[in-house]
Amino acid sequence: MRTQADHSPPQSAGRRLDLDWIRIGAFGLLILYHTGMLYVSWGFHVKSTHRLRELEPLMLLLNPWRMALLFLVSGAATRFMLGKYEVGVLARRRSAQLLIPLAFGMLVVVPPQSWAEVVETLGFSGGYLDFWFGHYLAFDQSFCRLENGRQVCIILPTWNHLWFVAYLWLYTVVLAGLLALAPNLAARAEPLLERALPGLLLLTVPALLLGLNRFLVFPAAPPTYIVVGDWYQHVLYGFCFLFGFLAARSQALAERTERLRWLALTLAVTAFLATLWLRAQPPGEFQRLVRPFVYGLDQWCWIIAILGFARRHLSRRDGPVRRNLVDAVFCWYIVHQTAIILAAHWLKPLALPVWQEAALIIAMTTLSCAASYEIARRISWLRPLFGIATDRRRRLPASGCQPSSASTTSS
């Protein structure tokens, strides 16, 4: 029978394979999640003619924690990079690895999403090149519609799903500034974090903080995805990014996530079921007071459960599959939503049955992402545009966890 010590990964190895796998899985979920957005009752850039209301509980299960987990893993990656690069070098390299794909994505990858959106929701009859040159690149803000009694306009140009890249760059630059002022920040804060979160406090204290964010900040500053004034998301994702940064090298915190994994999973499932029940109740004071803290518990316990189970089962799993996926995953992320939206737009006139349509969209998206990566990685000038490292010997991870000579890519 394996003991805890037998299962613990060697921290001195300077690599967290479990976090690599989490990153791969979290980005992989985006294809399924954004495909699901075509079929639920919530707004999206384009919609299928079909509605799958039974899909909504699964989407609600993923929504509270999926991006928060990515920011946490990204923070951990940043901590590992500090062992390899000085703060100034790290900030410059990360800026290049994030801002170049962001600019390319906004100019080339994202515009087809906006074109399909204005065609389907506003009846735009022009071709894509007409839209791209005459409207998108011209900063046209005239594509507006009434939504719930108010006018909503499509912002052009836009970053759509690439908001993650912009926010990740922002948090990295802010952290780099703090580290320039306080070079020993991580070394001093890590033991403080370990002492502050013993045992169950690792579950309850962050969950309470996230609940307070939902209770206090969310009503005044709900998500906007435009950086300015997006305080709820900055508190949420900034907290997760900083926690990942401070906890990345902590053996004590990693062991606690593993020990708490079953309790965290139980609490996460309970909080999720409570969230579904609360959503079905009429609005009132009880909802206003309780629901944000149940949501915070839901967010954080899923994250701890995933970290704990990954550490238990994935810390020693390595091989060509992981290495290839780590290299490809950011390129897939850049391409995936455009592929989903265009596939859905092109398939809509065929009026296919819902499961056939969804399967084709997923297949077309997967093939588009795979083809984009295989083409881009073979052409040197395309590699930085799609976030693929140009030097395989010195790849810098953006949300993977690798300070050693082995490699990951940015995200």
Residue 41 has pLDDT above 70, yes or no: yes
**Which long-range contacts link 133-141 to residues 24+ away (Cβ below 8 Å)?**
136/111, 137/107
Residue 149, pLDDT score: 78
SS3 percent helix, strand, coil of the chain, rounded to 5, is 70, 0, 30
Q: What is the pLDDT of residues 160-180, one digit of tens each?
A: 999 999 999 999 999 999 999
Dump pLDDT digits (tens) for 91-108: 999 999 999 999 999 999
Q: What is the per-residue pLDDT across 362-381, written as a single tens digit (0 to 9) for each? A: 999 999 999 999 999 999 99
DSSP string, 164-192: HHHHHHHHHHHHHHHHHH-TTHHHHHHHH
What integer best gives the mean pLDDT of the chain? Answer: 90
Instruction: Pinpoint the alpha helices (H) of 153-250.
Output: 163-181, 185-196, 201-212, 231-247
- Res. 13: pLDDT tops 60: no
Helix ranges restricted to H, 280-319: 285-314
Using pLDDT thresholds of 50, 70 and 90, give the confidence band for residue 391.
low
pLDDT value of residue 6: 44
Nearest to 253 by CA among 219, 317, 299, 203: 203
Q: Kindly report, residue by residue over 253-297, the tens digit of the pLDDT.
A: 999 999 999 999 999 999 999 999 999 999 899 999 999 999 999
Question: What is the per-residue pLDDT across 327-366, written as a single tens digit (0 to 9) for each?
Answer: 899 999 999 999 999 999 999 999 999 999 999 999 999 9
Distance CA 226, CA 223 (A): 9
Q: Is 340 helix (H, G, I), strand (E, B) or coil?
A: helix
Please state the rounded mean pLDDT for residues 234-260. Answer: 96
pLDDT of residue 14: 54
Length of the chain (residues): 411
pLDDT at 396: 44
